[in-house]
Amino acid sequence: MVQNKQRKSKSSGKLGNPFKKLKFGKKRKQMAIPPAPPLSIPRGFTIVEKQSLYEPFAHAVIAQNPSTGEYKYILDELSLDTFEREVYNKILDILLAEIHSPKEEIKSARDFFDKEAKNIVDKYRITLGWLPDVSWSKILYHAERDLVGFGPIDALMRDPNIEDISCDGVGKPVYVWHRRYENLETNMFFKADDDVDNLIVKLVHMSGKHVSTAFPIVDAALPGKHRLAVCYRREITPFGTTFTIRKFREDPYSIIDLINVGTLSEEVAAYFWTCLENRASIMVLGGTGAGKTTALNAFACLIKPGSKILTIEETAELNLSHENWVSLISRQSYGLGENHTGEVALFDLVKASMRHRPDYLVVGEIRGSEAYVLFQALATGHGGMCTMHAESVDTAVKRLTQKPMDISPAYIPLMNLIAVVHRVHLTKAGETKAYRRLTSIDEIVDFEDYRNVFKWEPTKDNFNSSIETSVILPAISKHSELSEEELTEEIRRRKNVLSWMRKHNIRSYKDVAAIIAEYYSRPKEFYKTKVEKVGVGS
């Protein structure tokens, strides 16, 4: 019964507690929730944390082996017994046959399914054999999970602490990247090729794409904009289908969030804000999962509202609040081998985007010839931003000037700023965790001539400024009515605006964008009446 109590604890699922919602006929006796089967914890491990993912069906358990310090992620999900599984198989066929596509536009496929499925179950429950309400709830949970959700990984997708989910092949444990414990082995694995292959076919179809042995490599955006990368079957992956999902944040990190988690300082953000207003071009460097796209998105939100922004990506990850924003996504080829029929590559999109007169061109990640076109765009006076997989300015410039990017060294200074983001380990309040930090910000004066303006100091976890060496600020001053001193003063005021937002807990990207828009439209008045009044602007 202790377990029953635990399972009735606060619901975190979007659909609430379905046990409460379901009423299957007056004659049925309301059953108590049966105790869940004991959770199988690996030998030598003890539970250190338990979190509800979807009450009462799924919980995330973190277990640790005290002698080795190793952590594991255990998905504790209510499963179906043999009889429930039989009914589930029958009801699945019925649901597939009887649920028709909605006639009007719906907000959520899950809500629509939930309502329709309950009506259909009500209609058939007597003919399918008697089952307690609790079993029906479980059956409906599994049906929703498998038909409109993400199948067996649906519960993992609900865990806000998980950044990435990856499967390395059949029979191998699924791994997750957890915000607190980093890479964790889970208790979940796909027993047979068909299990993972069927899931992948379904997920890829949900994304409106195609996967087959002929086209085994797919990058797709799942509903909810989660990024899915697939290598299908054993064509190119001898261990069987592999996939990685980068979970998308509905509520992206704003510049204020990034300051709050210490990724950059208020001064660094104010500097970027001022540079961006003056169409400086910015490149964010870093390793896999370092936080490049996240930083790029937060910087792009500082661009003046009303500016025409074109974003170009392979899978849609950027999320801006600007009204005048066009998102372009590349398309893979339908042809085989050397035949590139139907392909719309990043290169084509960057080229095409120039005809749309963008103020800012944001390329999610540059890897190939699209970099060349981006630099051409910079040369013609467009603002530009991008990310690139590189650990330092030197390695980035080497890659930029070699094939396939092939950018002439004379063009390199068209990229004004390079920010490097790193995943670092820091111990705070006795706990060592991974954090993201902008470890250096350099201005490009010329090919192989860089000026460092901010450097992260690991021992103190702060940002040392040498902004007085900036070459961009004097260049901005030359083309504006502001003297260099006035520009420095403007950066100070913007730093105070950011500080004011933090003080007032204004953090969501939309709220931050609204304040930035207000500051752009009446900077003096805004500063005087809001920021100075509460005393941040000292």
Ligand X SMILES: Nc1ncnc2c1ncn2[C@@H]1O[C@H](COP(=O)(O)OP(=O)(O)OP(=O)(O)O)[C@@H](O)[C@H]1O
34, 223, 289, 305: which one binds ligand X (CB under 6 A):
289
Q: Which three-class secondary structure state does DSSP give residue 87? A: helix
**Quick one: what does residue 132 bind among Mg ion, ligand X, none, with the CB cut-off 5 to 8 Å set by partner type?**
none
- Interface pick for ligand X out of 187, 207, 265, 293 (rule CB under 6 A): 293
Q: Contact region for Mg ion (CB under 5 A) — 114-122, 207-215, 285-293, 433-441?
A: 285-293
Q: Following CA atoms 297, 299, 304, 307 in sequence, which dihedral angle do they give, to the nearest 10 degrees?
A: -50
Chain residue at closest Cβ approach to ligand X: 291
Indicate the SS3 state at residue 51.
strand
- Number of C-beta neighbours around residue 386 at 10 A: 24
The nearest distance, CB 365 to Mg ion, in angstroms, is 6
Candidates 84-92, 113-121, 244-252, 409-417; binding stretch for ligand X (CB under 6 A) = 244-252
Closer Cβ to ligand X, 150 or 527, answer by number: 150
Q: DSSP readout, 129-152?
A: ----HHHHHHHHHHHHHHHTS-GG
Provide the minimum distance between the beta carbon of 306 and Mg ion in the complex, in angstroms, as a whole number.
Answer: 27
Measured from the CB atom, is 172 or 249 closer to ligand X? 249
Cα–Cα distance for residue pair 325/342, rounded to 1 Å = 25
- Residue 282 pairs in a beta bridge with 385, 417
CB 382, min distance to ligand X, A: 22
- Sheet containing strand 462-465, edge to edge, reads 325-329, 309-313, 360-363, 383-389, 282-286, 417-428, 431-446, 449-457, 462-465
Structure-block tokens of residue 337: 């081998």
Q: In this complex, which beta carbon is closest to Mg ion, that of residue 138 or of residue 292?
A: 292
Identify the three-state secondary structure at position 410: helix
Can residue 297 be called a binding residue for Mg ion (CB under 5 A)?
Answer: no
- The vertex-48 CA angle with 42 and 49, nearest 5°, equals 110
- Does 249 bind ligand X (CB under 6 A)? Our answer is yes
Based on the shown chain and the rule CB under 6 A, indicate whether residue 50 belongs to the binding site for ligand X.
Answer: no
Instruction: With CA atoms as reference, report the closest residue to 267 among 488, 424, 104.
Output: 488
Q: Which does 163 bind (CB under 5 to 8 A by kind): Mg ion, ligand X, none?
A: ligand X
Nearer to ligand X, 71 or 253 (CB): 253
With contacts defined by CB under 5 A, name the span among 110-118, 161-169, 292-300, 349-357 that binds Mg ion: 292-300
Q: What 3-state class would DSSP assign to 183?
A: strand
CB nearer to Mg ion: give 154 or 314.
314
Dist CA 14 CA 11 (whole Å): 8
By CB under 6 A, name the one of 33, 134, 206, 258 that touches ligand X.
258
Task: Decide: is 178 part of the binding site for ligand X (CB under 6 A).
Answer: no
Q: What are the b/e assignments for 42-71, b being 16+ CB within 10 Å?
A: eeebeeeeeebbbbbbbbbbbbbeeeeeeb
What element of type H or E holds 220?
A: strand 217-221
The three-point CA angle 412-414-418 to 5° equals: 75
Stretch that binds ligand X, among 88-96, 241-249, 346-354, 441-449 (CB under 6 A): 241-249
From the list 123-131, 181-189, 285-293, 343-351, the region that binds ligand X by CB under 6 A is: 285-293
Q: Output Rg (C-alpha) for the chain, integer angstroms.
A: 26
The interface region with ligand X, picked from 215-223, 288-296, 305-313, 489-497 by CB under 6 A, is 288-296
For the record, the structure tokens of 437 come out as: 């930090």
Looking at the Cβ atoms of 142 and 246, the one nearer to ligand X is 246
- Name the minimum Å distance from CB 288 to Mg ion: 8
**Residue from 149, 240, 286, 383 that binds ligand X (CB under 6 A)?**
286
In angstroms, give the least distance from the CB of 296 to ligand X.
Answer: 8
Which of 39, 40, 36 has the alpha carbon at shortest distance from 7? 36
Interface residue with ligand X, options 294, 369, 416, 440 (CB under 6 A) = 294
| Binding string, residues 117-156; x marks residues near ligand X by CB under 6 A | ----------------------------------------
Of 192, 236, 261, 534, the residue at the interface with ligand X (CB under 6 A) is: 261
Site string for ligand X, 156-175 (x = CB under 6 A): -------x------------
Q: What CA–CA distance (Å, rounded) separates 277 from 473? A: 12
Q: Would you count residue 293 as binding Mg ion (CB under 5 A)?
A: yes
Please count the other Cβ atoms lying within 10 Å of the Cβ belonging to residue 533.
11
**In terms of Cα–Cα distance, which of 361, 376, 354 is closest to 310?**
361
Binding mask 431-450 for ligand X (x = CB under 6 A): -----x--------------
If one counts every other C-beta atom within 10 angstroms of the C-beta of residue 442, the result is: 20
Residue 288 binds: one of ligand X, Mg ion, none (C-beta under 5 to 8 A by kind): ligand X
Which residues in 482-521 contact Mg ion (CB under 5 A)? none
**332 or 387, CB closer to ligand X?**
387
Residue 486 φ/ψ, nearest 5 degrees: -65, -35
Helix or strand or coil: residue 173?
strand
**Residue 363 CB, nearest approach to ligand X (Å):** 12
Between CA 221 and CA 228, with CA 227 as vertex, the angle to 5 degrees is: 85
Size of the site for ligand X (CB under 6 A): 17
Nearer to ligand X, 289 or 523 (CB): 289
Q: Select the binding partner of residue 278 from Mg ion, ligand X, none (C-beta < 5 to 8 A, by kind).
A: none
Cβ closest to ligand X, residue 322 vs residue 436: 436
Nearest to 135 by CA among 80, 194, 67: 80
Q: Which residues of the chain form contacts with Mg ion (CB under 5 A)?
A: 292-293
Q: Which residues of the chain form contacts with ligand X (CB under 6 A)?
A: 163, 246-247, 249, 253, 258, 261, 263, 286, 288-294, 436
